[in-house]
Structures are given as structure tokens and as C-alpha cells.
């Protein structure tokens, strides 16, 4: 099979080129020049981006001209970016190799976004020229960094919109392809020097391994890469299935069930935590092994004493409360999260201080809330409609004192609540503690009181009257009158 046919067969197997257009990143070296030519010959809608790193005066300008001339002769849209990589790397305190990679991919992404917008294209992908030799070098470098499977199966055929069609090819094959077609390419003399870790593997260690064993390490490592890739695919599929059944929605937040996490194999558990970070923030940037291990410990720890909050990169937080584990961004309000957890428990909360006198006929939206309050007199108590947030009591209660819808702020947690039919009561503070309502949410829970006596906690219980058929029967069985009733209803307004 011809090299170009093998590349397109590999691309088809992994659906790398089934898109509207492809941007080829081309340095002018043999790898990227072969990629550019194969994609051009395949008739793909193609664009080319070149990055001038300005690290080899003279040579880098010739490389740019070489790629530009190739594209001009074949009517391939071409754009070049120029960066002072050495200065930027010194400024950022990172290696020139790392700085160059960061700038390259940023330029590729920006170009893809611009072309997609200007041309009205839905799917623009970025093709880069990694090949089998890169796979072997990366695998060994990552192995000695202590990487897991993801590091050993890297680079992958596809990462988001970045595709790698040449992973079935050796570098020597790409050079032979170009030489056979008479296509010029640039040679970077630094690739033959032992000036960085990758070059040490390429130019020193791999040749020594082949001399000692008589076997080509690049081919052997690529076979291992293929086997590990299958294992990783299986594990990732299992992790996605587990993620789907282990996550819960808490308002606008996604959280993991701690009990579900602890029932999983550690290999799946760790992936679910990384997956939650990725879904919450959009990337795994700087979410390192030490952060992952801290979150695993957090999920495995007892939740005694309330919520636990850990600092994460970029001023983010990992939060554990009871069976919930979630992440908060730097601008997120942890108190709001705890209120949402309380609401997940069936309670209602408000953002500010609440003090609304309840009178028949009242109908209003609570301030800074999506909750509405309605109160009316019911004449016929034989056809009542019930829900978790409606409460009925004798109309006469209004003559016994001011009835107020309020919350725990301003000392409200000291009020006493005695369930209907119970001989003893508790302060709200203790009642909410027993319910395991998050401490930071207790002041926000809505309830109805008369003086210092709590009459009804929506979603939790009532002291007077009734909230359903069963409690109505108990109410009437106690000898209380159920004539004209005051009905109080709290409802969430539908999102506009």
C-alpha cells in the first residue's frame, strides 16, 4: 500500500478528516511537509499555518519561505505567525520547547476559529505531523516521568479538534515519500544534537537499545502503544458509563456522589474526578496528580464536622459535603452551593433577610428570589390540592398573632419547632443539624413562624395544621376544627 493510501486509511479508521476543512500546521520539516502534501493530494479543503519561532536566524526565514512557496504554487491559503520564542520563554520561566508548543497551538486554534467564522464552517480541524517515532519518544519520556496510561498512549490520533493522520508512519518513510516526489523540505540541525530529552532518546538511547537487542525500539514501542490504547479505550468507556450514573445536578453545579465513587475501582474513581474537573472548567490545565490525590482523599474522608473545602489551582475549590463532591470556580459563592444542597434536600432558601407578614389574599414574589408566595382562605376543605410547598391551618390562627414568612437570619435559628403530634421540640439550629442541612445554608432556609414558634418548614414538617391527606386525617382526629382554612403556597417561577 502506498504511503498516502495508508495515511488516509488510518485517518478513516479514526475519523480524523471527516470535517469541513483542515488546517495543516507546517514547519517546513519533512514530517509536516509530507502531511501537507498528502492532504493536498487527497483533495481536502486545506489551509496551512506556519509558525516562525525566530530561534535559528536565517534558517527560520528560509523555512517560512519554503512552506509559503509550496502553498502558493498549489493555491493553498497560507498564513504565518512570528514569535520571539526565546524572549517569551525567559519571561514565562519555561523552556523554549514548551513556549513554542504553547504558541503554536494557540495560533492554530485562533486560525481555525477565524476560518470557521469567516467561511461559515461548522467543523474545522487542525492536523499536526506526529508519527511513529514521536510516539516512541513521548512514551519513554512520559514513562520516566511516572505517567499513567494517558501519558503512555500519547499522542492520540485525535485530541479535540487536533488530528494526527501520520501515526502509522515512520519518519524515514516520510522522507522517502518527499524525496520520491522531489518535494523540498527543511532540516533542523538541532534535531541531531543531544540538546534536550527528546533528542537524547532519539539520537542516543534508541540506537543503543537497537545495538544491544537487535530489535528496533520504535516499532516495539508502537506495538505496545496499540495494545495500551485498546485498554485505555475500554477503561475510558467504563469511566463514562460510571460518570453518567455517579453524577448529580445541584442547581447550576455538577457533583459526584461520594458513595458511588467509593464503590468504584480506583482506576475509574480517579477518572471520574478528572472528568468532573474537565466538565466544570473546560480543561485539565494544571490539575496535577497532587490535586487529584487530594480530591481522592477528600472523597474517602468522613464528612464529620460539616463541609470540607480544599484549595485548587487558579483559586478554585474542591468541596465535599456529605455525599456531594464538586468544584467551585474562583468567582463562585460557596454559600450558594450549600443553599442548593439544602434545596436538593427539599427545603427552600432565600438570598437575603426575609420578613413578610402573611395575610389572606397576599400574592407576591419574594425579593431576590424565584419563589412566589400566595395565601388565601379555603371555604371547602373536602377538595384540597396538596404539594410539598402548601400548608393548611385553621383561619383562627391569624387572630392569635402575626404570622410571618421568614428565614434563620437575625436570630431565627433560636426559634423552637415542635412537629405536630410530638410532645417536645427543638431549636431550629439543632433541628437543621439533625437533618444534616449544611451549616452555611441554615440561615437561608425559609419557614413560617408566629412569634418565636415555628409553624411550618416547607419540605421538612409542620407544627400546626396539615400538608397532605394523611396529616389532615391526624389533624381532624385530634378534634381540631377544619372549617375555613388558611392556605399558604410557595412556588418556584418557571425560568423565562
pLDDT digits (tens, 9 = 90+) for 137-153: 999 999 998 888 989 99
Domain-embedded: residue 161:
yes
Q: In this predicted structure, what is the pLDDT of residue 303?
A: 55
Residues 12 and 160 in one domain: yes
Q: In this predicted structure, what is the pLDDT of residue 496?
A: 39
Q: Which of 227, 262, 288 is where one domain is finished?
A: 227
403 torsion bin: left (phi>0), alpha (psi -120 to 50), beta (else): beta
Structural domain range at position 74: 3-227
Residues 101 and 210 in one domain: yes
Domain-embedded: residue 406:
yes
Residues 20 and 148 in one domain: yes
C-alpha cell at 228: 495500551
Domain-embedded: residue 123:
yes
Handedness of CA 216, 219, 225, 226 (dihedral sign): negative
Q: Mean pLDDT score of the chain, rounded to an integer?
A: 91
Domain-embedded: residue 419:
yes
pLDDT digits (tens, 9 = 90+) for 411-446: 788 999 999 888 788 999 999 999 999 999 999 999
pLDDT band at 51 (very low <50, low <70, confident <90, very high): very high
Question: Which residue, among 143, 141, 158, has the nearest Cα to 98 in the 3D structure?
Answer: 141
C-alpha cell at 299: 472523597
pLDDT digits (tens, 9 = 90+) for 170-209: 999 999 999 999 999 998 665 555 556 788 998 899 999 9
What is the pLDDT averaged over residues 345-352? Answer: 91
Residues 266 and 326 in one domain: yes
Q: In this predicted structure, what is the pLDDT of residue 495?
A: 47
Domain-embedded: residue 451:
yes
Residues 134 and 214 in one domain: yes
Residues 150 and 263 in one domain: no
Residues 304 and 388 in one domain: no
What is the pLDDT averaged over residues 42-64? Answer: 92
Residues 118 and 205 in one domain: yes
What is the pLDDT averaged over residues 306-329? Answer: 93
Domain-embedded: residue 450:
yes
Residues 401 and 316 in one domain: no
Q: In this predicted structure, what is the pLDDT of residue 191?
A: 58
Angle of helix 266-281 relative to helix 289-300, nearest 10 degrees, comes to 110
Q: Which of 297, 332, 367 is where one domain is finished?
A: 332
CATH (domain of 255): 3.30.465.60
Domain-embedded: residue 349:
no
1-10, 54-63, 234-243, 426-435: range with lowest mean pLDDT: 54-63
Domain-embedded: residue 212:
yes
Q: Which residue has the cell 438570598?
A: 351
**Cβ partners under 8 Å of residue 474, min gap 6:** 420, 421, 466
Residues 223 and 262 in one domain: no
Residues 264 and 213 in one domain: no
Residues 52 and 119 in one domain: yes
CATH (domain of 147): 3.40.50.620
pTM over 0.75: yes
Number of domains in the chain: 3
Amino acid at each position: 500500500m502506498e504511503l498516502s493510501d495508508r495515511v488516509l486509511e488510518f485517518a478513516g479508521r479514526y475519523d480524523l478528516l471527516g470535517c469541513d476543512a483542515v488546517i495543516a500546521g507546517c514547519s517546513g520539516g519533512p514530517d509536516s511537509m509530507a502531511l501537507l502534501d498528502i492532504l493536498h493530494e487527497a483533495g481536502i479543503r486545506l489551509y496551512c499555518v506556519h509558525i516562525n519561532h525566530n530561534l535559528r536566524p536565517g534558517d527560520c526565514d528560509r523555512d517560512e519561505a519554503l512552506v509559503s512557496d509550496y502553498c502558493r504554487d498549489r493555491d493553498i491559503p497560507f498564513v504565518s505567525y512570528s514569535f520571539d520564542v526565546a524572549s517569551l520563554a525567559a519571561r514565562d520561566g519555561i523552556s523554549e520547547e514548551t513556549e513554542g508548543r504553547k504558541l503554536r497551538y494557540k495560533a492554530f486554534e485562533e486560525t481555525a476559529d477565524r476560518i470557521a467564522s469567516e467561511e461559515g464552517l461548522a467543523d474545522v480541524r487542525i492536523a499536526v505531523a506526529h508519527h511513529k517515532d514521536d510516539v516512541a519518544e513521548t512514551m519513554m519520556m512520559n514513562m520516566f516521568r511516572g505517567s499513567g496510561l494517558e501519558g503512555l498512549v500519547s499522542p492520540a490520533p485525535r485530541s479535540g479538534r487536533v488530528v494526527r493522520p501520520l501515526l502509522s508512519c515512520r519518519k524515514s518513510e516520510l522522507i522517502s515519500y518527499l524525496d520520491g516526489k522531489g518535494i523540498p523540505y527543511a532540516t533542523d540541525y538541532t534535531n541531531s544534537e543531544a540538546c534536550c530529552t527528546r533528542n537524547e532518546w532519539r539520537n542516543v538511547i534508541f540506537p543503543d537499545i537497537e545495538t544491544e537487542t537487535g530489535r528496533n525500539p520504535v516499532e516495539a514501542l508502537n506495538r505496545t502503544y496499540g495494545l495500551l490504547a485498546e485498554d485505555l479505550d475500554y477503561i475510558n468507556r467504563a469511566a463514562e458509563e460510571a460518570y453518567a450514573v455517579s453524577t448529580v445536578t445541584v442547581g447550576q453545579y455538577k457533583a459526584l456522589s461520594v458513595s458511588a465513587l467509593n464503590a468504584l475501582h480506583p482506576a475509574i474513581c480517579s477518572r471520574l474526578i478528572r472528568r468532573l474537573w474537565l466538565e466544570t472548567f473546560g480543561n485539565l490545565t494544571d490539575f496535577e496528580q497532587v490535586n487529584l490525590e487530594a480530591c481522592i482523599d477528600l472523597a474517602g474522608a468522613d464528612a464529620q464536622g460539616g463541609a470540607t473545602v480544599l484549595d485548587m489551582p487558579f483559586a478554585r475549590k474542591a468541596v465535599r459535603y456529605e455525599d456531594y463532591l464538586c468544584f467551585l470556580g474562583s468567582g463562585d459563592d460557596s454559600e450558594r452551593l450549600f443553599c442548593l444542597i439544602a434545596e436538593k434536600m427539599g427545603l427552600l432558601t432565600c438570598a437575603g433577610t426575609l420578613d413578610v407578614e402573611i395575610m389572606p389574599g397576599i400574592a407576591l414574589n419574594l425579593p431576590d428570589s424565584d419563589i412566589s408566595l400566595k395565601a388565601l382562605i379555603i371555604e371547602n376543605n373536602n377538595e384540597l390540592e396538596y404539594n410539598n410547598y402548601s400548608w393548611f391551618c385553621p383561619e383562627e390562627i391569624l387572630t392569635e398573632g402575626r404570622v410571618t414568612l421568614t428565614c434563620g437570619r437575625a436570630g431565627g435559628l433560636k426559634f423552637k419547632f415542635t412537629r405536630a403530634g410530638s410532645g417536645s421540640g427543638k431549636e431550629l439550629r439543632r433541628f437543621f443539624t439533625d437533618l444534616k442541612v449544611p451549616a452555611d445554608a441554615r440561615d437561608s432556609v425559609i419557614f413560617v413562624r408566629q412569634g418565636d414558634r415555628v409553624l411550618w418548614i416547607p419540605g421538612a414538617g409542620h407544627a400546626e395544621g396539615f400538608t397532605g391527606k394523611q396529616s389532615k386525617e391526624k389533624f381532624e382526629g385530634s378534634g381540631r376544627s377544619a372549617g375555613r382554612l388558611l392556605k399558604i403556597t410557595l412556588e418556584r417561577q418557571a425560568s423565562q
